[in-house]
Amino acid sequence: MLFNSFDFLVFFLFVVGTYFALPHRFRWFLLLVASYFFYGYWEPGYLLIILFSTIIDFFLGRAIHFSTVKSRKRIFLYLSLLSNLSILFFFKYFNFFLENVTPIVHAVNPDYKFKMLEILLPVGISFYTFQTLSYSIDIYNGKIKQPEKKFGVFALFVSFFPQLVAGPIERASNLLPQFHKQVRFDFNRIQSGITLMLWGLFKKIVIADRLALIVNEIYNNPTEYHGYTLVIGTLFFAVQIYCDFSGYSDIAIGIARVLGFDFMKNFRTPYFSKSIGEFWNRWHISLSTWFRDYLYIPLGGNRVIKWRWYYNLFITFLISGLWHGAEWTFVIWGAFHGALLILETLVKFEKKTHLIRILLNFKTFFLVCVGWVFFRANSLEDASYIFRELFNFNNYSLDQLSFYVIPVAKNTVFSVDFFLAYLGILILMILEYLFLEKYKFFKLPYVLRTTMYVSVIVLILVIGAFGKNEFIYFQF
C-alpha cells in the first residue's frame, strides 16, 4: 500500500478514526493489526519474515538483559546479529554474491554452473532489520535499561506502519516508551501532522514523480543523450530523490504526529550543506546516525591513529553504499563519499567569507551530484558512458541549452514536463524555506495559511504526476 494512493487514504482515515475512538489500552493492538495489514497488502508472505525477526529479537533481547555472565550476553547478541544479517543477506545479497563468485568458480571448474534464485526482495527489509538490530545492541550496551515486556508492543515497534518500509529508522529508546503513553486528541498537533503529510505528498506527486518522467527517460537510455541533456537529467535526479525520500519521511512523520507519536527528523535542507560531512548530518539522518553509532564508533571513530580513522570513515561509507543495494554502482557511490570525507579532513578552509561559503555550497552540491550518477545509473557501463559525455565539452551547444531555458517555446514532447518541473522546483524552494529553514509557516496569518493549503491541494490534483509510483527507497 502506497502513501500516494486512494487505498491508503481510506486506510488512514479508518485507522485514525478508530484509534481515537478506542480506549488507550486497546490502541496498541489496533496499530499492530493495521501495521501488519499495511505490510501484508504488498505480499502476505512478507509477514512471516518480519514476524520471525520480531520473535528472534524479542526473546534474545530479554536473554541479553537477564544474563549475568558477560560472555553469555555476547553470545546472545551475536545470535541476534547473525540471524538478522543472515535474513538480509539471503534476500538482498545472495544472488549478487553468486554473480561475483561465478567467474572465480569457472576459472577452476568451467563446467560448474550456479543457479540464481528467484527471490522476491521484501519491501523495507533493510530498514526494519537495522531497527531490530539497534534494539539488541542497545540492550547489550546498557542504553536500554529494561527490555520490552509485551511481545505485541515490541512487534508494533518493529512493524509500525508509518515508518516500516522506508524509515526513519527509529531507536527503541525513543519509540517504545511512546506506545505506553496515553494520547489525547489535540487539534493543533493533528493539524501540524496533516500539513506535513500534505507537504510530503506535494514533494512526491508534483515534483519527484514529474521529474521521474524525464530522469527515467534519460537514465534508462543514456547512450541516446549527451551534453546538457545528461546534465539536466542528473540535476533533476538530485531534486527527484530528495523530494521522493524526504517526501516519504514527511508523510511518515506527519502520520505519526496525527496519532500522537514523535519521530526523529530525517532531512534538514541537505543541499545547503557546505561540506560532505555536513551533508551527511542533514541527509537521511536516521541512517547516517545509525552507521555512526553502531559501526563507525565501535570501529574506533576518530579516537584512533590517523590511518585507522581514515579506514573507519571509508569502511563505514562503503558498507553504507552496499546497504542501499546489491550493485557495484552503490558500492562505488559509498566509496566515493567515504573518499570525499577523508579528503575533507586533509583540506580545510580556515577563513570562511561569505563568498567562500557560497562556493563551498556549490562545490558540495556538485560533488553530491557526481555521486548521484553512480547511484542512479543502471550499470557501471551506463555510469561510465554518462561521465565520458558529461566531461566531453564538444557535446555542449547553445541550441541544446536554449531548449532547457525556454522548453515550452520549443514545442517538443518534454516541453510541458520541463515547464511543470521548473514550476515545482520553484515552489519547493519557496515553501522549503518556510517549512524547514525558518519555521515561519505556522506564524503566518490564518487566511494566508489556508490559502496555501488550498493551493497545494489544487497543485497536487492539477499538475501531479499520478501513476502510483513507488518511493525510490522502497527497493532498499
pLDDT in tens, 237-267: 999 999 999 999 999 999 999 999 999 999 9
- What confidence category does residue 420 fall into, taking pLDDT thresholds of 50, 70 and 90? confident
Q: Which residues of 38-68 are buried (b: 16+ CB within 10 A; e: fewer)?
A: bbebbeeebbebbeebbebbbbbbbbbbebe
Are residues 259 and 19 in contact, defined by beta-carbon separation less than 8 angstroms?
A: yes
Backbone angles phi, psi at 203, to 5 degrees: -60, -35
Max alpha carbon distance in the chain (Å)? 75
Q: Which of 226, 284, 324, 337 is catalytic?
A: 324
More confident residue, 111 or 5: 5
Cα–Cα dist 190/322, whole Å? 38
Cβ–Cβ under 8 Å, residues 90 and 190: no
Average pLDDT over residues 276-298: 94
**Taking CA 182 as the corner, what is the angle to CA 177 and CA 184, rounded to the nearest 5 degrees?**
135
What confidence tier does 337 reach under pLDDT thresholds 50, 70, 90? Answer: very high
Q: Locate 71 and state its grid cell.
A: 560472555
pLDDT above 60 (res 89): yes
Q: How confident is the model at residue 411 (pLDDT cuts 50, 70, 90)?
A: very low
Residue 418 has pLDDT above 80, yes or no: no
What whole-number percentage of the chain has pLDDT above 90?
Answer: 53
Least confident of 127-136, 260-269, 395-404, 463-472: 395-404
Kindly list the domain boundaries of the chain, sorted by start residue.
6-185, 188-274+352-475
Q: pLDDT tens-digit profile of 171-213?
A: 999 999 999 999 999 988 998 899 889 989 989 988 898 888 8
CA-based nearest residue to 234, from 333, 371, 326: 371
Neighbours of 432 (CB within 10 A): 20
24 catalytic? Reply is: no
What angle do helix axes 151-159 and 46-66 make, rounded to 10 degrees? 130
Rounded Cα–Cα distance for residues 237 and 231 (Å): 10
Give the predicted TM-score (pTM) of the model. 0.89
Task: Tell me what pLDDT residue 470 has.
Answer: 73
In whole angstroms, give the CA distance from residue 249 to residue 237.
18
Kindly report the average pLDDT of the chain as a whole number. 86
